[in-house]
Amino acid sequence: MENRPVTFYFEGRPLRGIEGEPVAKALFAEGIRTLSYSVKYRRPRGLHCARGRCVACHMSVDGVPGVPTCITPLRSGMEIERENFQPFYGPLLTAVARVIPFPAGFYYRMFTRPAIARQLFLATLRRMAGVGRITPGRAGSPPAAAESNRSASPLLERSYDVVIVGCGLSGMSAALSAAHHGLHVLLVDEHGFPGGHSFGYQPDAELASTRDRLIERVKQHVAVTYLPGTTAQGLYPPDTLLLGPGGSAGFETHRGLARVRARSFVFAPGANDIIPLFENNDTLGIFGERAIRLLLERDDLRPGRRAVVYGAVSTLRATGQLLLHHDIKLVALVDPTEAVKSDDHNRRVLDKIPTITSARITRARGGAWLRAVDVSPVGGGEKTTLSCDLLCVVLPGQPAYELPYQAGVEYALSDAPLDEFRIMRPVTTRGASEDETVSFYVAGEAAGETDWKKKIESGEEAGAQAARAVRA
């Protein structure tokens, strides 16, 4: 698609953007950072996950509510509005709620009698918590039932030997491993490109070259059907996976859902960013490493110019190199562990960047956007305030365990000494199915692997196990 300038409308105001770029990016370029507000205290919300998995950037687009603007391509003439709707007295009540420390669940306990007070109280809360209005007859109204039932893709068949969810390093490795045994493999991924979150620039040249070879092999293999822009919506035992449009495809094309069956499934959906608990951790300008990569590499959007990177060991420094590659100044690297370990290459590149070890982010400062972060020693001590407009968190991600859990894979919370590193890890990498003719496996980050070479190994093993199960 050509980079054609177009005009769109934000709350009635004409703005300019580039056709096809994410709506949120176009708004960001026009200086609009706040895309929505939190329900209870109306704190600003905006770009966060960059992959449509949260609701921070949901807006009304051409009359359709709840559209994830971080993955919705811009079109000429689009009408975009924030969704939050409150009665005229809403701001006053919100200001009161910010001052008075209401207990959790107060709306279940207060003003319960008499009945008239209860009804008025609940009606007021519901109006204050509303995120928009649906106007019947608008151009963006849902399509007719007949159209919404269209197949998710004309490429799909009814059944496969093996279905693999996720086209990152582990997913591609699993697909090639299963296809090596002559099986018919379907590889689906929510993104419109292969490689997962390893796509784009990588400080590790070996990782980048290995990823590119895997992508080429997947695309050329006759036994692998690669289906991008497709989300696995749910698993229906014993052998059915519900697929739907990934990203913004549902909004753009009204593509419907489709069901596929398989003898074996491999789940390699990766992981989600985790933002640790600290004061004002919902301030705009705080991102996980996956969101940062998507914004920088996919969208060519720099959400800040001066960054603090918070994480541990090699991942911390690798992300620092990614930011430097995109001309973002590094203010400091903050590591909650005792020491930073790095290879010689990373050390040569980043040894001039201030590194603070055995420390945590304790507070974010800013209003509509991040201005600074407070850093304090893990064991207590004097805090340090770092001026920045971007905080990148590169802690281990939370495995996307929803589908594996549906398949009977048992997960348990890890026992890492620091809260930042405690994530759900699988007790076993194979699911428990009542139907012995169907098998389920988990690989990559969903299996708790963080090293890229181990992700590939786990994918290869899961693909081979899935193939053996089909052949048995």
Query: Which residues in 301-337 are b (16+ Cβ under 10 Å) and which e?
Result: bbbbeebbbbbbebbbbbbbbbbbebebebbbbbbbb
- Nearest-10 Cα torsion for 160, 231, 64, 26: -130
For residue 167, being part of any structural domain is answered with: yes
Domain shared by 218 and 259, yes or no: yes
pLDDT tens for the chain, 472 residues long, are 467 999 999 999 999 999 999 999 999 999 999 999 887 777 899 999 999 889 899 999 998 888 999 999 999 999 999 987 666 666 676 677 667 777 777 767 777 888 888 888 877 777 766 665 666 655 444 433 334 344 445 568 889 999 999 999 999 999 999 999 999 999 999 988 999 999 999 989 999 999 999 999 999 999 999 999 889 999 998 899 999 887 544 444 445 788 999 999 999 999 999 999 999 999 999 999 999 999 999 999 999 999 999 997 668 888 999 999 999 999 999 999 875 455 444 455 567 788 899 999 999 999 899 999 999 998 888 999 999 999 999 988 899 999 999 999 999 998 888 888 888 888 888 887 777 889 999 999 999 898 999 999 999 999 999 999 998 8
Residues 425, 448: contact at Cβ < 8 Å?
A: yes
Domain shared by 24 and 119, yes or no: no
Record the pTM: 0.86
Structural domain containing residue 227: 159-272+399-471
For residue 434, being part of any structural domain is answered with: yes
Q: Distance (Å, rounded) from C-alpha 223 to C-alpha 180?
A: 9
Q: Distance (Å, rounded) from C-alpha 115 to C-alpha 120?
A: 9
Domain shared by 295 and 380, yes or no: yes
Domain shared by 137 and 29, yes or no: yes
3-class secondary-structure state, position 236: strand
Domain end, chosen from 359, 394, 429, is at 394
For residue 117, being part of any structural domain is answered with: yes
Domain shared by 232 and 332, yes or no: no
For residue 281, being part of any structural domain is answered with: no
∠ Cα 214 398 189 (to 5°)? 35
Question: Which residues, other chains included, contact 209 with Cβ-Cβ below 8 Å and sequence gap of 6+?
Answer: none
- Nearest-10 Cα torsion for 261, 226, 215, 456: -10
- Domain total for the chain? 4
Domain shared by 101 and 173, yes or no: no
Instruction: Using DSSP bridges, classify how beta strands 384-387 and 13-18 pair: parallel, antiparallel or unpaired.
Output: unpaired
Residues 291, 271: contact at Cβ < 8 Å?
A: no
Q: Distance (Å, rounded) from C-alpha 294 to C-alpha 188?
A: 19
Q: Which residue has the tokens 């040569």?
A: 348
